[in-house]
Structure 1
Amino acid sequence: MRKRFVAFILVICIFCSVFAGGCIKRQKAPAAEGKSITIAIGSDTGSMDPAGSIALTFLSYSVSALDELLTFDENGNIEYRAAQSYEVNEEKTIWTFHLREEACWSDGSAVTAADFKNTIKRALDPKNGSGYVSYLFPIQNAEEIYNGELSYESLGVETPDEQTLVFYLEEPCAYFLDLLRLPVYMPSCEKYADSALSGWDKNPETSLTNGPFFLAEYEPKQYFVLKKNEKYWNTDEIHLDTIIYRFFDDQQSMANAYETKEVDVAVSLQSAVMELYEGKPDLLVTELIATRYIYLNLEAEPLDDVRVREALNLAIDRAELCKIVGKDVSPAYNLVANYMVNKNTGAYFVEEDKQPFQENKERARELLAEAGYPDGEGFPVLTYKYPALEMDSDTAQVIQEQLKQNLNIDIELKAQELQTNYADRHAKDFELCRMNWTADFADPYTYLSMLLSNNSYNCSHIQDEKYDALIRRSEMELDVNKRFQLLHEAEQYAVGEQFYIIPLYGMKSCNLVSRRITGIRQIPASGALEYRYADVTE
């Protein structure tokens, strides 16, 4: 009933946007040129520098503007991009990549191995604030350089000539090729990319690209424009002339903009849109390799007590939560996303092992009493910080109500602007904080590595030698089956014994796509949409 009501409200809002233009604040719209599509995305956040503190804006930009060394297609086959080949030694510790000689930046200058090393060097400088820097740590001496213990000259990356890039790893790394699609392994032009703080990344004159499109215009909080890079090595396969990304503060405005034909694509909309567009070709529902969960700050009492963390997990009714949040979510009991596939078996990773824990309200109350809070007596009021988005607001209210009802404890809700929530989480300035992780590469390690003691995304103060040892063993294990067993063991321990997170739900993405657009692909690693090979029909 609630969702039908929300759908009705959505119709009313769209009606307002069409017939009473003053109802919604309009954004400045750039003029499209040639074959063009306009995409509605969330608010403008983070740096556009692959070595900086990136967020959604960079991820939208980079899939069309930057070529990684190589990636994997939907069948798990290598798709070479900036590199044309590679070799690896028998021990899998020396990886040599040969760049395309015809590859060049959008200004016509050659892309060199030094441009890839430039990103790595800058990411290893803590001042640049890279959240992905820990994924460079398989490289010899990278972690010590980041910690200020060794000089950059000792880094295990060599550029013997302009087209050759060599990585020397500390230990064998079975998933190293998967890491190459991460920002810290992407190139940044050595001529201009000096610091994540200098502004080069959002200036079209200095923000050069080596992919199918280049940055032509950037209007903060409004939009950015990508134009076809005629100097791209594979330009004949690129059909669009312009891609415009417009920023919106909320999902409602994105849906309105699609309805009024201001945009051609609107992504990650509220689930009520599924009912409005049911049976229509505009609706594209995809599985996201993503998990919504809550970080608990282990330095905030009483969250340092595993009994309390377990009680919070067991007291939440995820099925009921998902009924209220929408049709696009399903209960999650793991950190690894519900829809992540084991490339070796074709099965969902989370279904290959037992569920880490079972919800149990009675046991939750017993645990809280054992921790010294019978019937919630004396339990401090914890603050839950979350982005002021509809899905997260609905989620927060349900969790607040369930914890009050099931444990008799109070949770204070604090909605925040997305960038503020992001900053507070990284500063570890929270007690409970919403977290959403969409996979960066098609391996469970993209999730489980975030709980390592030295990981830059470990915002909870987790310092667990046993967990670290399990993950480190998996990193060096080259037998696929044994490696995945170690990853399962690590997740069972972290999520089902220590309860370091509160998993909530996995998601599907509700998208609206104009019928005139063809050739949109899904990125296998994350489930996000990719537009580099898209086309339009009039």
Structure 2
Amino acid sequence: MKKVLSVLLIMVLLTSAILSGCGRQEQKTGEKKEIVVAVNSETGGLDPAGMIALTYLSYSVSALDELLTYNEKGGIEYRAAKDYEVNKDSTVWTFHLRRDAVWSDGTPVTSSDFLNTMVRALNPKSGNGYANYLFPIKNAEAIYNGKAGIDSLGVETPDDKTLVFTLEKPCVYFLDLLRLPVYTPSCVKYAKKTDSGWDKDPSTSVSNGPFYLAEYVPEQYFVLKKNPKYWNAESVKLDQITYRFFDDQQSMANAYETKEVDVAPALQSSVMKLYEGKEDLVITDTIATRYIYPNLNVKPLDDVRVRKALNLAIDRKELCKAIGEDTEPAVNLVAKYMKDKSTGKYFVDEAAPPFEENLEEAKQLLADAGYPGGKGFPTLTYNYPSLEMDSDTAQVIQEQLKKNLNISIKLNAQELQVNYTERRAGSFDLCRMNWTADFADPYTYLSMLLSNSTYNCSGIADEKYDALVAQSDQETDPVKRGKLMHEAEQLAVGGEFYIIPLFSMKSCNLIRPRITGITQNPATGALEYRHADIQ
């Protein structure tokens, strides 16, 4: 099941010299600086308070300024805010916005614009998966659950350029949270309701970042143009970024070869061999974990012995060998390449693995649960996106579980948006999940399994786990905090087996050598284009 490029791409590779006169032309001196970026499928909207997924993440890194973020060296980079102050017990955070910041239509960026996103995201009907990251704010969780009014939210806007957060209790990673969608602004002039279409309409989808939305064609592409009203416009070199949607990685690779796109990120691993030694090939670490959610509301997945048996019966080394060289076996929830800020080491390397594969133990566990040799075990359905890597993964998982435990898994490939929606609704037996870090702290992973998490789609409700994570939230000693987080992960992944971790990944990217200044987001590992240039 080695992944290979299709005959079509191989033919394109062999005839690229002939095709060089076709498709997208090379940049000429004096022309506007434009790049075209390939993105995989159209999912979700562009409203930071609404239901968002991959499309928003591509858009936001170039079009929206958060209050502040961390750069690659771990230092603070101020964006919408010019500075901040915090009280002694770290429960009141005051941010001062830039006086010269305006939206792309010239409307001033105000503190109310930030509050606007938070208020709308705290309405469960918005479908925002990041709403739980607002819960450190006073009364936010109660508001989300309908137990308090929105007027009680611990966010104040004493004037247009001052934003004050009052937290329920100290939160040691609060500044990390500020890069998340629910903490970014949405202009009160236009962003009045979620799912109203304002976010994909260039006349109302204004931006406070380096680029603004100029065109959006569903299922085809969207165009971002340089924002001349941006407070730091002189640092922006590109005139335009076009994001084109593709159904799969194969089509993205083909488009790069025919010069339809200039950047094709996160391609299949076979491209690594085809481009070996060429400047186009850029391999980056992705701070992500691919895993499976077993639905605890579905029998027999409510039995920890069954969940453990599934985990122990999968041969992850063989899985990765089958699906590509850009993957590495993983038995953790926290991504392999996430670093511990206090030590500089990879977080997962600072503790023993949560579990080890053991086929004989897996068989015994299944027998203890009442299914000796797989007899009587119901057929479970595995939902996954119809992407190449996920399809290959599903087939390997199906074959291994049949061979190793004699149980049958029905495969159900879905469009990415359908898979996302059904997972959020808890409508699955087993469901593929991939989580790329949103910020540079293990909490971005541990929070997924909390009882009150909006991304907890499988019915996890573990008071002990919740307490460990809550305790780590307030622990200021990095050594003690690290110990608590490791203990929480050990409990969830190696004790209760709430997930089935599969692998971590490297990202295989193709980038035109003439493009410079593309950076990697230190929190997620994703490529960013706001500082890109063309030589």
Farther off after superposition, 478-487 or 152-161: 478-487
Deviations 1:151-198 (A, max 9, x none): 110000001111100000000000000000000000000000011211
Aligned equivalent of 2:448: 450
Correspondent of 1:499 among 497, 504, 513: 497
Shift of 1:126: 1.3
Aligned equivalent of 1:199: 197
Deviations 1:451-494 (A, max 9, x none): 00010000110011111111111112122221111100000000
Q: Which amino acid aligns with 1:122?
A: R
Secondary structure at the aligned position of 1:354 is classed as coil
Shift of 1:14: 3.0
Q: Which amino acid aligns with 1:279?
A: G
Q: Which amino acid aligns with 2:357?
A: E
Total equivalences in the alignment? 527
For 1:350-365, what aligned pairs fall within 5 Å after superposition? 350-365=348-363
Shift of 1:33: 7.1
Alpha-carbon separation, structure 2, partners of 1:305 and 1:13: 51
> Would the aligned equivalents of 1:63 and 1:532 in 2 still touch at CA under 8 Å?
yes
Correspondent of 2:57 among 52, 59, 72: 59
> Would the aligned equivalents of 2:294 and 2:301 in 1 still touch at CA under 8 Å?
yes
Q: Which amino acid aligns with 1:433?
A: C
Shift of 1:47: 1.1
Alpha-carbon separation, structure 2, partners of 1:88 and 1:9: 59
> For residues 155 and 245 of structure 1, do their structure 2 counterparts lie closer, same or farther at Cα, with a shift above 3 Å needed?
same
Q: Is 1:273–2:271 an aligned residue pair?
A: yes
TM-score of the pair, normalised by structure 1: 0.96
Aligned equivalent of 2:176: 178
Correspondent of 2:33 among 32, 35, 43: 35
Q: Which amino acid aligns with 2:294?
A: L
> Would the aligned equivalents of 1:7 and 1:276 in 2 still touch at CA under 8 Å?
no
Alpha-carbon separation, structure 2, partners of 1:152 and 1:104: 27
Correspondent of 2:464 among 466, 487, 505: 466
- Structure 1: give runs of 5+ residues left out of the alignment: none
Alpha-carbon separation, structure 1, partners of 2:272 and 2:315: 24
Aligned equivalent of 1:489: 487
Q: Is 1:263–2:261 an aligned residue pair?
A: yes
> For residues 154 and 390 of structure 1, do their structure 2 counterparts lie closer, same or farther at Cα, with a shift above 3 Å needed?
same
> Would the aligned equivalents of 1:96 and 1:164 in 2 still touch at CA under 8 Å?
yes
Correspondent of 1:304 among 285, 302, 315: 302
For 1:38-437, what aligned pairs fall within 5 Å after superposition? 38-437=36-435
Secondary structure at the aligned position of 1:6 is classed as coil
Alpha-carbon separation, structure 2, partners of 1:246 and 1:397: 29
Shift of 1:12: 3.0
> Would the aligned equivalents of 1:99 and 1:113 in 2 still touch at CA under 8 Å?
yes
- Structure 2: give runs of 5+ residues left out of the alignment: 25-29
> For residues 316 and 418 of structure 1, do their structure 2 counterparts lie closer, same or farther at Cα, with a shift above 3 Å needed?
same
Alpha-carbon separation, structure 1, partners of 2:14 and 2:458: 43
Identity %, equivalent residues: 68
Q: Which amino acid aligns with 1:218?
A: Y
> Would the aligned equivalents of 1:39 and 1:244 in 2 still touch at CA under 8 Å?
yes
Aligned equivalent of 1:531: 529
Shift of 1:237: 0.6
> Would the aligned equivalents of 1:123 and 1:184 in 2 still touch at CA under 8 Å?
yes
> Would the aligned equivalents of 2:9 and 2:253 in 1 still touch at CA under 8 Å?
no
TM-score of the pair, normalised by structure 2: 0.96
Alpha-carbon separation, structure 2, partners of 1:130 and 1:298: 22
> Would the aligned equivalents of 1:7 and 1:275 in 2 still touch at CA under 8 Å?
no
> For residues 9 and 48 of structure 1, do their structure 2 counterparts lie closer, same or farther at Cα, with a shift above 3 Å needed?
same
Shift of 1:68: 0.2
> For residues 126 and 20 of structure 1, do their structure 2 counterparts lie closer, same or farther at Cα, with a shift above 3 Å needed?
farther
Alpha-carbon separation, structure 2, partners of 1:10 and 1:343: 45
Deviations 1:406-439 (A, max 9, x none): 1011111111111110011001000000000000
Alpha-carbon separation, structure 1, partners of 2:11 and 2:444: 39
Shift of 1:8: 6.5
> Would the aligned equivalents of 1:385 and 1:421 in 2 still touch at CA under 8 Å?
yes
